Amino acid sequence: MNMEITYKCLNKQIYTDAEFSLVPIRWEDRYKIMQWRNEQIFHLRQNKKLTVEEQDAYFENVISNLFEQEQPDQILFSMLQGETCIAYGGLVHIDWKDKNAEISFVMNTSLESEKFNTLWSVYLELIEKVAFSEIRLNKIFTYSYEVRPKLYPILYQAGFIEKERVLGVIKLNNKSIDGLIHMKRKGDLSYRPVEYSDVQLLFDWATDSSTRNNSINSKEITWGEHVKWFNKKMNDSKSTMFLFKKEKPVGVLRLDEVNSQFQISFSVDRKQRGKGIGNQMIRFIIKKFPENVFLAKVLESNRGSHRIFLKNKFIVDSVSKIGNKIITNYIKEEFDGNY
Ligand SMILES: CC(C)(COP(=O)(O)OP(=O)(O)OC[C@H]1O[C@@H](n2cnc3c(N)ncnc32)[C@H](O)[C@@H]1OP(=O)(O)O)[C@@H](O)C(=O)NCCC(=O)NCCS
């Protein structure tokens, strides 16, 4: 069958991140997709195994029609690594009027044990470009049966929140399983570990004059010093850095472990300040590590930081002086689940 493989509803057809790409779903991938769906039937809304005839008919009668439509109800992609299809997914149940869609994703079953995290994370980055930048949706969501414990931390990291829990939607081995809806709105905050390629961005932020003035050591930083410091932090098992993003990177937060307590340092891109991002970053990190004890050192003049730590129930542990700088040392014990 000769399938036209560009979507009329998209200007950009291919979405790439390093060796991975999303391309309009390919006819040649249909049996692989069928196989993966049949292997993973336990988490899909599919009540029996697909046959070759059914899969051919689905591609011929349903999928082939999506490409020509101005507003199809689904936009599906093959996810490739190089030229090999390793997964497939897309936007489904697209509501063009209310500007939202569900996202679906199924990867090659044999990659689930080793590559689950990487492939889901890359896929989410790419499909969000389609959803938010290309067809300008406001909201995307996933619907999953609560049988996928590895999936939820990935969704939280990508900025999704649990929106709804539908009790007992299926029975599995005589156990009642809930359905979970996770949702992300355009512009919601997400985070990922800092990568080596972030070295320049972190230099730009660290050398911003207001960041320097609010640091305990406010001396200028050279590029050479920064690179040395950055590599040391990246290799330090007691240090973790997170990059926070909306559509673009907006801030960075570092945790340094000292005697089983975690010292927080953070900054927000100058252009993004005053929008609640600093506060959200601190909330995220407290929720991610609820059992940690957090510490923070704040200069007297740093009104925004004092406000953020006090709002998040840090308490003043002590006040100290370094040179002529007065520093408030904050501490937060275990998170009780409330703000
Ligand atoms: C400190 C910093 C991270 C705050 O981030 P932010 O995203 O601008 O802060 P938010 O928008 O979340 O503001 C949180 C609260 O602080 C208040 N605030 C923020 N900046 C303020 C300022 N300069 N003066 C007074 N209050 C301020 C906000 O009004 C808000 O209070 P509210 O919730 O009562 O309205 C950011 O200014 C920054 O990157 N500064 C340079 C680096 C730095 O100081 N890092 C912290 C070292 S401890």
Which ligand 1 atom sits closest to the C-alpha of 267? 39
Least confident of 5-9, 39-43, 203-207, 210-214: 210-214
Residue 5 lies in a domain: no
Check pLDDT > 80 for residue 30: yes
Ligand 1 centre distance from Cα of residue 267 (Å): 9
Ligand 1 centre distance from Cα of residue 313 (Å): 16
pLDDT at 17: 93
Number of domains in the chain: 2
3-class SS of residue 7: coil
Say yes or no: 209 and 161 in one domain.
no
Say yes or no: 256 and 133 in one domain.
no
For residue 255, the domain's CATH number is 3.40.630.30
Domain boundary among 146, 165, 185: 185
Distance separating alpha carbons of residues 32 and 84, to the nearest angstrom: 11
Say yes or no: 109 and 169 in one domain.
yes
Check pLDDT > 60 for residue 323: yes
Of 289, 287, 281, 284, give the one whose Cα is nearest residue 265.
281
pLDDT at 181: 94
Of 228, 232, 233, 231, give the one whose Cα is nearest residue 253.
233
Say yes or no: 132 and 206 in one domain.
no
Q: In what order do the strands lie in the sheet with 100-107?
A: 15-17, 20-24, 75-81, 84-95, 100-107, 139-145, 175-185, 161-172
Reported as a single tens digit per residue, the pLDDT across 237-296 is 999 999 999 878 999 999 999 999 999 999 999 999 999 999 999 998 998 898 999 999
Residue 7 lies in a domain: no
Give the pLDDT band of residue 214 (cuts 50, 70, 90): confident
Residue 233: burial class (beta carbons within 10 Å; 0-12, 13-18, 19+)? middle
Check pLDDT > 70 for residue 2: no
Say yes or no: 164 and 21 in one domain.
yes
pLDDT at 166: 87
Domain boundary among 167, 185, 203: 185
The response to whether residue 308 sits with its C-beta less than 6 Å from ligand 1 reads yes
Residue 20 lies in a domain: yes
Ligand 1 centre distance from Cα of residue 71 (Å): 42
Say yes or no: 141 and 69 in one domain.
yes
Ligand 1 centre distance from Cα of residue 277 (Å): 8
| CB-CB neighbours of 298 under 10 Å | 24
The response to whether residue 217 sits with its C-beta less than 6 Å from ligand 1 reads no
Among 216, 256, 308, 331, residue to substitute to test ligand 1 (most atoms within 8 Å of Cβ): 308
Ligand 1 centre distance from Cα of residue 326 (Å): 18
Residue 339 lies in a domain: no
The response to whether residue 267 sits with its C-beta less than 6 Å from ligand 1 reads yes
pTM of the model: 0.75
Distance separating alpha carbons of residues 125 and 149, to the nearest angstrom: 20
Check pLDDT > 60 for residue 61: yes
Check pLDDT > 90 for residue 223: yes
Reported as a single tens digit per residue, the pLDDT across 81-97 is 999 999 999 999 999 99
The response to whether residue 210 sits with its C-beta less than 6 Å from ligand 1 reads yes
**Contact yes or no for 157/190 (Cβ under 8 A):** yes
Token pair, residue 64, equals: 């082939």
Residue 249 lies in a domain: yes
Among 210, 298, 305, 314, residue to substitute to test ligand 1 (most atoms within 8 Å of Cβ): 305
The response to whether residue 268 sits with its C-beta less than 6 Å from ligand 1 reads yes
Say yes or no: 80 and 226 in one domain.
no
Residue 78 lies in a domain: yes
More confident of the two residues 48 and 16: 16
The response to whether residue 328 sits with its C-beta less than 6 Å from ligand 1 reads no
Say yes or no: 153 and 301 in one domain.
no
Say yes or no: 168 and 28 in one domain.
yes
Say yes or no: 217 and 162 in one domain.
no
pLDDT at 3: 53
Ligand 1 centre distance from Cα of residue 5 (Å): 48
Residue 4 lies in a domain: no
Check pLDDT > 80 for residue 334: no
Ligand 1 centre distance from Cα of residue 306 (Å): 8
3-class SS of residue 330: strand
N-term to C-term CA, the chain: 58
Reported as a single tens digit per residue, the pLDDT across 45-57 is 787 899 999 999 9
Domain boundary among 170, 185, 200: 185
Which ligand 1 atom sits closest to the C-alpha of 280? 12
Range of the domain at 269: 190-332
Q: How much is the mean pLDDT over the chain?
A: 93
Token pair, residue 123, equals: 């896929």
Ligand 1 centre distance from Cα of residue 240 (Å): 22
Token pair, residue 239, equals: 């240090």
CA-nearest residue for atom 44, ligand 1, is: 214
DSSP string, 152-175: HHHHHHTT-EEEEEEEEEEEETTE
Give the pLDDT band of residue 337 (cuts 50, 70, 90): low
The response to whether residue 274 sits with its C-beta less than 6 Å from ligand 1 reads yes
pLDDT at 173: 83
Three-state secondary structure of the chain? CCCCCCCCCCCCCCEEECCEEEEECCHHHHHHHHHHHHHCHHHCCCCCCCCHHHHHHHHHHHHHHHCCCCCCCCEEEEEEECCEEEEEEEEEEEECCCCEEEEEEEECHHHHHHHHHHHHHHHHHHHHHHHHHHCCCCEEEEEEECCCCCHHHHHHHCCCEEEEEEEEEEEECCEEEEEEEEEEECCCCEEEECCHHHHHHHHHHHCCHHHHHCCCCCCCCCHHHHHHHHHHHHCCCCEEEEEEECCCEEEEEEEEEECCEEEEEEEECHHHCCCCHHHHHHHHHHHHCCCCCEEEEEECCCHHHHHHHHHCCCEEEEEEEECCEEEEEEEECCCCCCC
Residues of the chain with pLDDT > 90, as a percent, come to 76
The response to whether residue 266 sits with its C-beta less than 6 Å from ligand 1 reads yes
The response to whether residue 305 sits with its C-beta less than 6 Å from ligand 1 reads yes
CA-nearest residue for atom 17, ligand 1, is: 304
Of 274, 282, 273, 278, give the one whose Cα is nearest residue 255.
282
Say yes or no: 172 and 223 in one domain.
no
Say yes or no: 299 and 321 in one domain.
yes
Ligand 1 centre distance from Cα of residue 73 (Å): 42
Give the pLDDT band of residue 113 (cuts 50, 70, 90): very high
Over residues 229-239, the mean pLDDT reads 97
3-class SS of residue 134: helix
Task: Say which residues have a Cβ less than 8 Å from residue 177's Cβ, sequence separation at least 6.
Answer: 145, 146, 147, 168, 169, 170, 171
